[in-house]
Amino acid sequence: MKKLVLDFSKYTIVGIIVTIITISLTWFLIDIGNLHTILATSLVVVLAHLIKFYSYKKIKLFNRRQVAYLQFTLYTVIVFCFSILHIVLVWFLIDILYLPTLLSVTVVTVGIFLARFISFKIANLITDKD
């Protein structure tokens, strides 16, 4: 249980930093830069994907016994699925329901943040063992 709390803390610290960047950059690109919602969100999601993976590796969050390419593959598949969901949900909330960008991106990002951690645990990227 102690390791789970430590892992979630590491995940949360990286997540908060990248989330602030994600929300700010998405808002800037859509509302200030006038980029289309899908294009702006796609660019930000890809950037966040790479930043997070290398940050997780750096802080030793991922299972150290797994081969690096397997880690990256599992991570990419999980993040890809959630990224598509992120893009579709943000588009739906902003362009279909006409909700504010900051609210929409924040709600979607937090929900996906928690779901991704659970998926990393299920995929054994984060283990209960050291």
Residue 84 lies inside a defined structural domain of this protein? yes
Residue with the bigger pLDDT between 41 and 1: it is 41
Mean pLDDT value across residues 37-61: 89
Round to whole Å and give the CA distance between 42 and 99: 19
Q: What is the pTM of this model?
A: 0.71
Residue 92: which pLDDT band, with cuts at 50, 70 and 90?
A: very high
127 assigned to some structural domain: no
Q: Does a structural domain hold residue 65?
A: yes
Closest Cα partner for 37 from 46, 27, 47?
A: 27
Give the angle subtended at the CA of 129 by the CAs of 7 and 64, to the nearest 5°.
75
| 77 part of a folded domain | yes
